[in-house]
Structure 1
Amino acid sequence: METDYAIIGGGVVGLSVAWGLLRRGKSVTVLDGDDGSFRASRGNFGLVWVQSKGMNQPRYAEWSQQSAAIWAEFADELGDATGHPVPLEQKGGYDFHFSEETLQARIEDYETLKAKIGGNYPYEVLGHNALRKEEPHIGPKVVGAILHHQDGHANPLKLLTALAADVRRMGGQVIVGKIVIEVSKPDSFRITCADSTTYGANKVVLSAGLGASKLGPAMGFKAPIRPQRGQVLITEKLPKLINRPSLIARQVDEGGIQIGATNEEVGHDDRVTQPGLSGLAAEAISAYPALARAQLVRSWGALRILSPDGLPIYQESADMPGAYLVTCHSGITLAAAHARLLPDWLEGTGAAPDLEVFSETRFAVS
């Protein structure tokens, strides 16, 4: 039996797209990998983040803003439908600076971006004393911060759980342990897995994260993506210490403080390292000295999915019309857009968002 869509990849990106298509009455099968697959959705930092995105491509700033603006409604709908709440706190987020020079340079960058997107970039600059009123535990080495009011953070594992539950509730199939090895298109699409099972679909969305670099070229995509390791630390559950998240640390809804993340070009190595973890801890203590007394309970490494310019890729295959590549490293931030807005692009409706700047043509070799 053929479905309207087969989604290859059952992480946050794939499930968000599946959820949006099911809401529109489409039949969907999600084919997810096995426990040995690299899974960015289970190792990320959980930020719903606008700040600093799109410095060189204003459309990315706007796309992130669109998603952030509808995230709360998206989370509420998921929680109400499944009984699995998706905790979201969206009271703004910080970009901390340890020198006046870097702070001033970032302000200039933000003013340039703000002008390019029509002034919709709500941030304010907090000197150390103003920041200390907002964050009493901030350390003396932090000279100031940029507080961007569209930022926030969520619980990514609870998001993943709710998405999977609601996809199934709406009649979608989520089939795990499936390693796709071939996609062909005699008439409709035929998807073959390593265990010899096959699935049919009218359209295919390739959202397999790093797996897209193997499958993509055979489907007519460049898929120029690479892994980047991010290591993360998490502390014991603590009384309220951090009021708003930053790229250095956030206090999760369950009380622990998540510290991260590194940015390492180490191929497919997702191990943690002592230098990486020590560097994270030192920076976190510089921002919040009280963390020096906190007990660490776990750490992990995960691989980001990055394109050459760091932006998402949304592309229909010229070789296999009806096959789409959807990949990004901001799957949490963009989850609401992928769920609510991207289905219009996949279906080619009049409400389709303009995603042309995210096509693979930007990687063409001159």
Structure 2
Amino acid sequence: MAEASFDFVVVGGGVVGSSIGLGLARRGARVAILDQGDTALRSSRVNFGLVWLQSKGDGMPEYGRWTRRSADLWTEFAAYLQDLSGIDPEHEQKGGIAFCLGEAEFEHRRNTIQRMHNQVEPWVYETRMIDRKAVEALYPGVRFGPEMVGASFGPHDGVTNPLRLLQSLHGALKRVGIAYRPDAPAQAIQSDGGGFVIDTPAGPFRAGKVVLAAGHGTTGLAATLGLEAPIVPERGQLIITERVAPILPIPASGVRQTRDGTIMIGTTHEAAPDLTTRATTANAVHIAERIVRLIPDMARVKMVRTWLGLRVLSPDGFPVYMESETHPGAYVAICHSGNTLAAVHANDLAEAFLAHRLPDTLAPFHPRRFHVSQAA
């Protein structure tokens, strides 16, 4: 006997699952979100908090358009979350920087930006390269090291506070009537009379449709429903400093200052097939050495803590969205940039799930791309 019946059950209560669930409920669906609670490998809590466009979509222009769509929705989305939950997700959209140390990095970045511009319409990125003098004008309180020769600047980039974003999402879920169950991780899912029954430690849940958005916990459940959720886990380590006076008004890929004055510095990229999350001194040293090359005065700022999280990456780094052909009404949604895509997930993706049809614009994100030779 199923405990309760819903239009949708979303498996996963991180930023991705919560954003989708909120979008569904906002449009009138009866929604339950089944979550693993504090024991989950929660990428939503251990990330840099960027809402970032300028690096997204090289090789898949549709991802660039999708990300730009989300960036454009984010200001309204943040206001909606704060109105519902009373918690400010601390979204800012002042633009973003990717620093270049040395001419080789600058030329590589310039080539990447030009290549991405060539793949899409001019309005998508609007990222441009700027020289050292222009960078210094953006950061009047910073003395940069001699290796910093310039940067790329993306006018649509921004940040959010990842902890407050998740808190505001969970607060909003309650306000729109979602049954959020942190004690009910999905253990098995079966088709049942045109719908689905999801077995959990808290009992079974019935739904007309199910969305798998549980990050690293998605793959096994997906396979039972004819879905694919290929994930290549990747570790990323961050450093957090003591509070200092405001010196970094513009966030950058690899360094940003939070509203409370701490500076976040990162990050590393390591394969993590064993899903371990142990931070290392070697990684911290690597991160610290680069930031001191960029801003020598950072050598005098105290490191308070360091931590490591797991990125949810598909084999090519792009999101995966699909509906099962064998179990219609079962969907999968996995991505790395859950913060960046939260606004479009709560709007366009939720609307697609409600319409029972993923639009053609999302076809490139289907995992069939991993089975098609790119040499043809």
1:312 aligns with 2:319: yes
The alignment partner of 2:129 has SS state of strand
CA distance in 2, matches of 1:203, 1:213: 18
CA distance in 2, matches of 1:266, 1:350: 34
CA distance in 2, matches of 1:91, 1:123: 13
Q: Who is 1:282 aligned against?
A: 289
Q: 1:141 aligns with which of 143, 147, 150?
A: 147
The alignment partner of 1:297 has SS state of strand
- Does the 8 A contact of 1:244 with 1:250 survive in 2? yes
1:196 to partner: Cα distance: 5.9
Q: Who is 2:267 aligned against?
A: 261
Q: 1:321 aligns with which of 314, 321, 328?
A: 328
1:353 to partner: Cα distance: 6.8
Q: Who is 2:39 aligned against?
A: 36
User: Which sits farther off after the overlay, 176-185 or 111-120?
Assistant: 111-120
1:114 to partner: Cα distance: 1.5
The alignment partner of 1:190 has SS state of strand
- Does the 8 A contact of 2:183 with 2:202 survive in 1? no
CA distance in 1, matches of 2:81, 2:217: 27
1:168 aligns with 2:171: no
Letter in 2 for 1:295: K
CA distance in 1, matches of 2:15, 2:219: 18
CA distance in 2, matches of 1:78, 1:36: 25
The alignment partner of 1:166 has SS state of helix
1:301 aligns with 2:304: no
Q: 1:123 aligns with which of 127, 132, 135?
A: 127
Query: Residue by residue, what CA displacement relative to the aligned partner does 1:315-356 show, whole Å, maximum 9, x if unpaired?
Result: 101121101000100000000000111112112279957200
- Does the 8 A contact of 2:11 with 2:185 survive in 1? no
In structure 2, relative to structure 1, the CA distance for the partners of 1:12 and 1:196 (3 Å cut) is closer
Letter in 2 for 1:141: E
Query: Residue by residue, what CA displacement relative to the aligned partner does 1:238-284 show, whole Å, maximum 9, x if unpaired?
Result: 10111211111000122110111111113211110011111111111
> Where in structure 2 are there 5+ consecutive unaligned residues?
none
Letter in 1 for 2:256: R
Q: Who is 1:48 aligned against?
A: 51
Letter in 1 for 2:233: P
The alignment partner of 2:339 has SS state of coil
CA distance in 1, matches of 2:42, 2:202: 23
Letter in 2 for 1:342: L
User: Which sits farther off after the overlay, 285-294 or 203-212?
Assistant: 285-294
- Does the 8 A contact of 2:53 with 2:67 survive in 1? yes
Query: Residue by residue, what CA displacement relative to the aligned partner does 1:10-45 show, whole Å, maximum 9, x if unpaired?
Result: 000000001101110101000000432211001011
CA distance in 2, matches of 1:241, 1:105: 27
Cα RMSD (Å):
1.6
Letter in 2 for 1:338: H
Q: 1:223 aligns with which of 212, 219, 229?
A: 229
CA distance in 1, matches of 2:213, 2:358: 22
Letter in 2 for 1:278: V
1:149 to partner: Cα distance: 0.6
Q: 2:65 aligns with which of 23, 40, 62?
A: 62
Alignment of 1:76-95 (within 5 A): 76-95=79-98
Runs of 4+ in 1 over 6 A off after TM superposition: none
Query: Residue by residue, what CA displacement relative to the aligned partner does 1:205-263 show, whole Å, maximum 9, x if unpaired?
Result: 00000001221111212211121001111011110111211111000122110111111
- Does the 8 A contact of 2:12 with 2:33 survive in 1? yes
In structure 2, relative to structure 1, the CA distance for the partners of 1:34 and 1:162 (3 Å cut) is closer
Q: Who is 1:359 aligned against?
A: 366
Q: Percent identity?
A: 38
The alignment partner of 2:39 has SS state of coil
Q: 1:2 aligns with which of 5, 9, 30?
A: 5
CA distance in 2, matches of 1:49, 1:283: 21
Q: Who is 2:252 aligned against?
A: 246
The alignment partner of 2:312 has SS state of strand
- Does the 8 A contact of 1:344 with 1:351 survive in 2? no
In structure 2, relative to structure 1, the CA distance for the partners of 1:269 and 1:349 (3 Å cut) is closer
CA distance in 2, matches of 1:365, 1:133: 47
Q: 2:238 aligns with which of 225, 232, 249?
A: 232
The alignment partner of 1:271 has SS state of coil
- Does the 8 A contact of 2:113 with 2:128 survive in 1? no
User: Which sits farther off after the overlay, 247-256 or 4-13?
Assistant: 247-256
Q: 2:161 aligns with which of 155, 169, 183?
A: 155
Query: Residue by residue, what CA displacement relative to the aligned partner does 1:291-338 show, whole Å, maximum 9, x if unpaired?
Result: 111111121111000100000000101121101000100000000000
**What TM-score do you get using the length of structure 1 for normalisation?**
0.96
